[in-house]
Amino acid sequence: MSGTVLIIYAHPAHQTSRVNRRMMETARDLEGVTVRDLYELYPDFHIKVKIEQALIEKHTHIVFQHPFFWYSCPSLLKEYIDLTLSYGWAYGPQGTALNGKTLLSAITTGGGADAYKRTGHNFYTVNELLQPFDQTARLCGMTYLEPFILNGSLQVNDQAIDAHCNRYRQKIIDLRNGDIGEVYQR
Ligand SMILES: Cc1cc2nc3c(=O)[nH]c(=O)nc-3n(C[C@H](O)[C@H](O)[C@H](O)COP(=O)(O)O)c2cc1C
């Protein structure tokens, strides 16, 4: 399903970001791609719901891009989800606005891959911790894609960041062109 990509970008410390900032900048100039920088648009958390819903309606593929914060997303993205994915629009009776779209979580974690397993200090895998996003997609009739993850984001060097950004740009191009890649297996 080719189409357009809406990147919902949430980073409260965009100015000091090493990874997410570059990922976002590498994708934002692509044709058919719209980036919404939530912390730039809504520093006071007053999200304009109708504008955000209209943007979602116009796009085929939705990406939530953010650093992993307390095993979840930064608070403004949670506020965006709480307000924008409303009853009767995203779910419930006549709540079909998201049906058939895809959702991709594109995240960076400070913890290394080894920390996210039963014997590691975070115990759960990142995919297990992302289950609320998977279930949100499910409830709204979306296809949740295999998350796009960079672990150990505080340790990676510039070369690894460049390589990751190139992979991200290609992932967004593929999505736009209708190659959705791997669907998340529950
Ligand atoms: C408030 C806060 C909470 C965080 N929580 C987690 C966490 O739960 N798991 C984790 O692996 N890293 C956590 N981190 C580390 C961030 O994920 C890391 O700083 C980020 O991925 C770096 O990306 P950036 O270069 O784009 O800023 C946290 C950082 C902050 C500031």
- Nearest partner of 55 among 108, 4, 131, 124, judged by Cα: 4
- For the beta carbon of residue 7, count every other beta carbon within 10 angstroms: 25
In a domain, 166, yes or no: yes
Inside any domain, residue 18: yes
Q: What is the pLDDT of residues 35-87, one digit of tens each?
A: 999 999 999 999 999 999 999 999 999 999 999 999 999 999 999 999 999 99
**The pair of three-digit structure tokens given for residue 53, joined into one six-digit string:** 């819903």
C-alpha triplet 138, 141, 144: angle, nearest 5°: 50
* pTM value surpassing 0.95: yes
Residue 158 lies inside a defined structural domain of this protein: yes
Residue 79 covered by a domain: yes
182 located within any domain: no
CA of 93 to the centre of ligand 1 (A): 37
CATH of the domain at 116: 3.40.50.360
For residue 2, the model assigns a pLDDT of 81
Cα torsion angle, 106, 111, 114, 116, sign: negative
Cross-strand bridge partners of residue 64? 8, 105
How many CA atoms are closer than 13 Å to the CA of 60, on its beta-carbon side? 15
User: Which of 109, 124, 125, 168 is the pocket-test mutation for ligand 1 (most atoms within 8 Å of CB)?
Assistant: 109
Ligand 1 center to 21 CA (angstroms):
13
CA atoms of 95 and 129, how far apart (whole Å): 26
The answer to whether 35 and 28 are in contact (CB under 8 A) is: yes
The Cα–Cα gap between 137 and 142 comes to: 5
Q: Which of 17, 26, 70, 129 has most ligand 1 atoms within 8 Å of CB, for mutation?
A: 70
Q: How many structural domains comprise the chain?
A: 1
Nearest-CA residue for ligand 1 atom 29 is: 69
Ligand 1 pocket by C-beta < 6 Å: which residues?
11, 17-21, 67-71, 108-111, 153-154
Tokens (6 digits) for 162: 């460049």
Q: Mean pLDDT over all residues of the chain? A: 98
The domain containing residue 114 runs over which residues? Answer: 5-176
pLDDT reading at 20 higher than 90: yes
